[in-house]
Amino acid sequence: MKVVTRFAPSPTGYLHIGGARTAIFNYLFAKKHNGRYLVRIEDTDTKRSTNEAVGAIHNGLDWLGINSTEKIIYQSKNLASHVKVAYDLLNKGFAYKCFLNTEELNDLRIKSRANGKPIKSPWRDSKFNSEKKEYVIRLKMPHNGTTTIKDYVQGEVSVRNEILDDMIILRSDKTPTYMLSSVVDDYDMGITHIIRGDDHFNNAFRQIQIINFLNWDKPSYAHIPLIHGTDGSKLSKRHGATNLIDYRDMGFTSEAMLSYLMQLGWTSHDNNDDDYELKKAVNLFSLEKINKSPAKFDIKKLNNINSRCLNKIDIDEMYKLLVERFKLVLNIHQEKRLKALLPELLKRVDVYIDLKDDFEWIIDDNFLCNEKNKVKILQKYNLIINEIGDFLKKCEWNKETIDHCLKTYIQNKSLKFREIGPILRIALTGKTSAPDLVSIIYELGCTISLNRLNYKY
């Protein structure tokens, strides 16, 4: 059997990190089994679905590199097939037309709440038929016995059929409900494994009745626990950003995000290091290793993973990311300087957005420190700084010589490096914390370095 999975988001907002993780698990499972991974946009709720939200879903999946390479399915295009199935169920006696009006339905709701049982429509056993009177089509849920689902994550769970309500599968305006559409699409798409949030686990017991009535092949299920915040409650905006793409905008790399989301709720015991990358994760993935208890989203962990990723990232790739993100227009000298200093700079940040403060001193040939407090320091040490500039002027431009030159000057003057190092750093970068001084001087080059050191404050 060829494995076919799907990610089926409703395009009503942004791509939530929980949704992204569901997509990742579907992707990993399909790839692990050389199967197919499909994306189905569940856009039947015309009031809430928007094109922007569809765009946001694709954006997020593309960013993580886990969009489907196959044709994207739009549920709204399949409505005719869902309606056909609703009438099929009706004609076979597995569903019925329910003519209850709002008032009658409300009365039944009150009764059902009082006795703790699902609503029972009197139309279930009626022979009455009409096309003129408004109706919905309800599924005739079995009353006896139990329904058992062997879920990869939740285990084997049974429910008594008497608690299942005769759910609506076709509304009075002849539109199918999610409960029907999703099942029919899964069947038409040949989905073998349904991997989704456990907020849909209850739905599975009701949806499977349609599959039973129609004698369709049953898919396997894996209902994954939702992501929680570190305080143990369901992840929401008060814990921080829940929109996947916000993390891109905050300067996280897609590799880090992917790595973190992959391990959020999935533990691979064969994996000794913390960072997962897609290919490795495909090999190691199994649904059995998804944890049954909710995973906690911990921004500190994500920060750590991201900072590790930044230190491994290809410099040309990082450079491209920065140029795009900050709309930098650089000549070849500026490009060379930035690329050369990037490895050092990346060691000092968790997210690459924090490099923003370093662009000016690296890129701007004419940069001079102009922060009041720092200028005061530079004024105080102006003579020494100028002298070092003159000293460096004579030296051959390589790191060893620059290093030697600085050390000689410091020794000659009976100074200590920690007395003069921070001041030179301020003169060259405007910052107290910056990469190694010799690297800064070397990469900025002779002209720029000397201009900054010889300046009269």
Q: Residues 39-58 vs ligand GLU: string with x where CB under 6 A?
A: ---x----------------
Estimate to the nearest angstrom the gap between the alpha carbon of 284 and the chain centroid.
Answer: 20
At 160, the amino acid letter reads: R
Between 181 and 259, CB nearer to ligand GLU: 181
d(CA 295, CA 298): 9
Estimate to the nearest angstrom the gap between the alpha carbon of 435 and the chain centroid.
Answer: 32
- Residue sitting closest to ligand GLU (CB): 196
**Residue closest to 339 by CA, chosen among 366, 359, 369:** 359
Shortest distance (Å) from residue 265 CB to ligand GLU: 16
- The dihedral built from the CA positions of residue 236, 55, 313 and 281, taken in this order, carries a sign that is positive
The residue range among 8-16, 96-104, 289-297, 369-377 that interacts with ligand GLU, by the rule CB under 6 A, is 8-16
With beta carbons less than 8 A apart as the criterion, state whether 159 and 170 touch.
Answer: no
d(CA 36, CA 30): 6
Shortest distance (Å) from residue 427 CB to ligand GLU: 56
Our finding on whether 8 is near ligand GLU (CB under 6 A) is yes
Q: How many of the chain's residues bind ligand GLU (CB under 6 A)?
A: 7
Between 8 and 167, CB nearer to ligand GLU: 8
With beta carbons less than 8 A apart as the criterion, state whether 236 and 286 touch.
Answer: no
d(CA 8, CA 74): 10
Between 8 and 168, CB nearer to ligand GLU: 8
Our finding on whether 76 is near ligand GLU (CB under 6 A) is no
Our finding on whether 9 is near ligand GLU (CB under 6 A) is yes
3-class secondary-structure state, position 149: strand
Shortest distance (Å) from residue 21 CB to ligand GLU: 13
d(CA 312, CA 306): 10
With beta carbons less than 8 A apart as the criterion, state whether 229 and 239 touch.
Answer: yes
Our finding on whether 16 is near ligand GLU (CB under 6 A) is no
Residue entry with tokens 């791509």: 15
Shortest distance (Å) from residue 177 CB to ligand GLU: 12
Shortest distance (Å) from residue 8 CB to ligand GLU: 4
Between 227 and 405, CB nearer to ligand GLU: 227
Residues 178-217 that bind ligand GLU (CB under 6 A): 182, 196, 200
Our finding on whether 73 is near ligand GLU (CB under 6 A) is no
Our finding on whether 36 is near ligand GLU (CB under 6 A) is no
First-to-final CA distance of the chain: 76
Interface ranges with ligand GLU (CB under 6 A): 8-10, 42, 182, 196, 200
